[in-house]
């Protein structure tokens, strides 16, 4: 079959599968490694990611694609095999983070705009040659008193649309990620309001830039209460509000919505996704593109020691399997206790 944007996007949200976000920048992976007392050296980063990509059962059955960081897409496993080939051999699709991070937005204290458009056309061509078939760009929208402003939402939406258009020109499927942060004291209803405004702006800009929606994947936050909000929305409420918000704002032509975990606990991230799929009645696939909710457990189990690799792979397989079931609406909490 010839590879098209549409066929890649469909494969990214194949039933029961989701995406492993392993694209932590050098700064972020250092934070994760600090938490397990592991030095963030190039070799340790390679060894850790290699153990994930060699978890065959997880990769083959539950992981449709892996988002990589620039360093990782160029790295080789201990035996000399490119890490990209480990991913492909497991039947999974390599992807690449291409944004240069969220930077303070001039004139808008407390807000950020994501950079990285300069030279992106050339970088995408190189990443395609290195094997990437999809990309990721993350915009960050923070909620606090007086923010987000429309200026912040529009600037980020415009950058996402320009990024998406460049990706498609390069035959790479864009993952469009506008993340409304769950930090803060806001309610789930405020998260709904801000996410609705953000998604409206994003899809309006994607249309303006002639982005092919059938060849685009959306990576959003769920509608959750701020971490410090005294009243926390329950699993059913999160699922219902998230579906309602997306029905209002996300065109049916989008093949799939893959959520970020954003700081939710492992089990919450799984339970929320499962509840949405159990409710159903929406036109898109709903799956996962988790970083922390897939990797916190294996990172802890590994703790930088070669003898812990099997335990880490077991932990990764477990989370991948649980989230794969949640993508089908077939997870239940009893399966967690059995692990």
Known catalytic membership, residue 236: no
Size of the residue set binding ligand 13P (CB under 6 A): 10
Looking at residues 260 to 289 of the shown chain, list those that interact with ligand 13P (rule: CB under 6 A): 260-262
Cβ closest to ligand 13P, residue 159 vs residue 293: 293
The rounded distance, in Å, linking the Cα atoms of 188 and 3 is 40
The rounded distance, in Å, linking the Cα atoms of 168 and 151 is 26
**292 scored as a contact of ligand 13P (CB under 6 A):** yes
Looking at residues 37 to 96 of the shown chain, list those that interact with ligand 13P (rule: CB under 6 A): none
The rounded distance, in Å, linking the Cα atoms of 195 and 325 is 26
Per the structure block, which two tokens stand in for 311?
A: 């335990």
Give the shortest CB-140-to-ligand 13P separation in angstroms: 9
Q: Which residues contact 61 (CB under 8 A, 6 or more apart)?
A: 16, 17, 320, 321, 324
Give the shortest CB-290-to-ligand 13P separation in angstroms: 4
The CA distances from residue 200 to 154, 164, 205, 229, in Å, are 10, 16, 9, 25
With residue 243 as reference, give the H or E element that holds it.
Answer: helix 235-249
**9 scored as a contact of ligand 13P (CB under 6 A):** no
β-pairing verdict for 112-114 and 102-104:
antiparallel
The CA distances from residue 331 to 13, 141, 181, 292, 323, in Å, are 17, 30, 26, 19, 8
Cβ closest to ligand 13P, residue 50 vs residue 177: 177
**5 scored as a contact of ligand 13P (CB under 6 A):** no
Cis ω before 148 (30° cut-off from 0)? yes
Cβ closest to ligand 13P, residue 89 vs residue 184: 184
Catalytic residue among 50, 158, 177, 179: 177
Cβ closest to ligand 13P, residue 215 vs residue 220: 220
Of 9, 11, 20, 21, which one interacts with ligand 13P (CB under 6 A)? 21
Known catalytic membership, residue 177: yes
| Interaction site with ligand 13P (CB under 6 A) | 21, 138, 177, 260-262, 290-293
Residues serving a catalytic function are 177, 219
């Amino acid at each position: 079959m010839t590879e098209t944007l549409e066929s890649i996007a469909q494969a990214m949200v194949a039933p029961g599968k989701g995406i492993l976000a392993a694209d932590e920048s050098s700064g972020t992976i250092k934070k994760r490694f600090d938490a397990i007392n592991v030095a963030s050296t190039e070799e340790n980063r390679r060894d850790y990611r290699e153990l994930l990509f060699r978890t065959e059962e997880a990769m083959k059955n539950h992981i449709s694609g892996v988002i990589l960081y620039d360093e990782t897409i160029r790295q080789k496993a201990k035996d000399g095999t490119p890490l990209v080939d480990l991913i492909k051999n497991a039947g999974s699709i390599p992807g690449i983070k291409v944004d240069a991070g969220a930077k303070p937005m001039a004139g808008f204290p407390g807000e950020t705009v994501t950079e990285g458009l300069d030279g992106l056309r050339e970088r995408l061509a190189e990443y395609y040659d290195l094997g990437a078939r999809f990309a990721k760009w993350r915009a960050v929208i923070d909620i606090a008193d007086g923010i987000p402003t429309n200026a912040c939402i529009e600037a980020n939406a415009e950058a996402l649309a320009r990024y998406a258009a460049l990706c498609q020109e390069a035959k790479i499927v864009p993952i469009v990620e506008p993340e409304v942060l769950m930090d803060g004291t806001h309610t789930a209803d405020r998260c709904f309001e801000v996410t609705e405004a953000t998604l409206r702006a994003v899809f309006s800009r994607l249309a303006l830039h002639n982005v092919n929606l059938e060849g685009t994947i959306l990576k959003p936050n769920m509608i959750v209460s701020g971490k410090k909000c005294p009243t926390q929305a329950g699993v059913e409420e999160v699922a219902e509000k998230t579906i309602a918000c997306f029905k209002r704002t996300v065109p049916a032509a989008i093949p799939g919505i893959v959520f970020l975990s954003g700081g939710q606990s492992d089990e919450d991230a799984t339970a929320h996704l499962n509840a949405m799929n159990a409710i159903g009645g929406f036109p898109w696939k709903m799956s996962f593109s988790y970083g922390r909710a897939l990797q916190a457990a294996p990172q802890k189990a590994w703790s930088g020691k070669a003898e812990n690799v099997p335990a880490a792979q077991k932990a990764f397989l477990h989370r991948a399997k649980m989230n794969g079931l949640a993508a089908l609406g077939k997870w239940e909490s009893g399966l967690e206790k059995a692990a």
